[in-house]
Structure 1
Amino acid sequence: MSGSMSRTTGNLPPCPVIRTPRLTLRPHVLSDAEAITASLCDFDVARMLLRVPQPYHPGDARDWLETEANGDTAWNAAITGKGGAHIGVVSIERQQNAWHLGYWLNRQAWGRGIMSEAAWALIDAFFRERPDSTVRSGVFADNTASLKVQAKLGFTISGISDVYVPARGATVNRIETHLTRDAFTPARS
């Protein structure tokens, strides 16, 4: 599919490989299943995610990698650090006629600005492909770290909803957010 055709449909070209000063974002491979499973078995990671079951099994990771990780309506980038270790995911995917940002990091990568760097890089690439798009996202009300990441990127709050979270087995408040190209915060040097 040509670049111009992908701009007018829900499809995206393949997920690009993106390098930042500390990270490489790349398409997933089946061998990522072990690292994904290890990260998402951690309840403190899974409890902040909208669609992740708990407990999380190796088969869940393999199923996701085989069916959704590299589809043409999403960029699901593996976040890898020095040495190529899989430490998380940042994605932009088409859901309900809108583009949505989602992300997670394993616990060992928290608190170092990694997600801000990874999300900025993927959003920047996405806006080069789709400059007239709006990216939607959201965070659970008790996830202040994630809300700070989105604020750094230029997201603004657009509402609050109640959502069921499988890992928690409960309904929680979700702060809905959105980002336009004009509001996207440039990278800091």
Structure 2
Amino acid sequence: MQLVTMRLILRPWRESDAESLYAYARDPRVGPIAGWPPHTSVEYSRQIIRNVLSAEETYAVTLKSENDRAVGSIGLLRGTASNLPLREKEGEIGYWIGAPYWGRGLIPEATEELIHHAFVDLGLENLWCGYFDGNEKSKRVQAKCGFTYHHTVPDVPWPLMGDIRTEHFTLMTKGQWLVQKAAHL
């Protein structure tokens, strides 16, 4: 499945995306703030595509103007697929984009499309997002897309990075989304 916005195509990851993934995911400014270590090789990136990014409802973020090159990722984990204690009709959205594309509004655009897909096509009732202390870019994306602060969990052991983190959670209900959507018509 593909999701299309004005500037983006969100499509499934392919193993042939490994070089592009490595080009952006090796940057230490990208992964650690999102909770994963920088990629160390193209082969490591290929393994991440096979084992993580090939999950259902996980999409490569590609710009229409850049020949289908993957420049980021966005995904939706539903119900028990999430690490959060979600019910069947709930989902968690996660995302990142390569540093050269920061500040262009691309991830909010991708997130808004995934929100629409989650509520309209998949029939979800609640969407969650999280961000770690210090990840102001992710916090801004969530606020811009209409998520509202819900709660904070301090002292979360984070094995992927071998540290302890504070995680903040935001929520959007389908009802809130419908009100926002109506206000922008």
TM-score, structure 2 length as denominator? 0.82
Determine which structure has the larger helix proportion and give its number.
Answer: 2
Identity of aligned residues (%): 28
Task: Indicate whether 1:92 and 2:76 are aligned.
Answer: yes
Say if 1:101 and 1:136, in contact at 8 Å, map to a contact too.
yes
- Offset, 1:136: 1.5
Structure 1 consecutive aligned stretches of length 4 or more whose deviation exceeds 6 Å: none
Structure 2 Cα separation of the partners of residues 34 and 139 of structure 1: 27
2:59 to 53, 63, 77: 77
Structure 2 Cα separation of the partners of residues 186 and 151 of structure 1: 15
Q: Which residue of 1 aligns with 2:137?
A: 145
TM-score, structure 1 length as denominator? 0.80
* Distance verdict in 2 for CA 1:165–1:46, change over 3 Å: farther
Say if 1:41 and 1:55, in contact at 8 Å, map to a contact too.
yes
Task: Indicate whether 1:135 and 2:141 are aligned.
Answer: no
Structure 2 Cα separation of the partners of residues 115 and 19 of structure 1: 13
Please list, as runs of the form range in 1=range in 2, the aligned pairs for 1:38-117 lying within 5 A after superposition.
Answer: 38-50=23-35, 52-71=36-55, 74-81=56-63, 82-83=65-66, 84-93=68-77, 94-96=81-83, 98=86, 99-117=91-109
Structure 2 Cα separation of the partners of residues 38 and 181 of structure 1: 36
Unaligned runs of 5+ in 2: none
Unaligned runs of 5+ in 1: 1-15
How many pairs were matched up? 171
- Offset, 1:85: 1.9
Structure 1 Cα separation of the partners of residues 141 and 97 of structure 2: 12
TM-align CA RMSD: 2.2
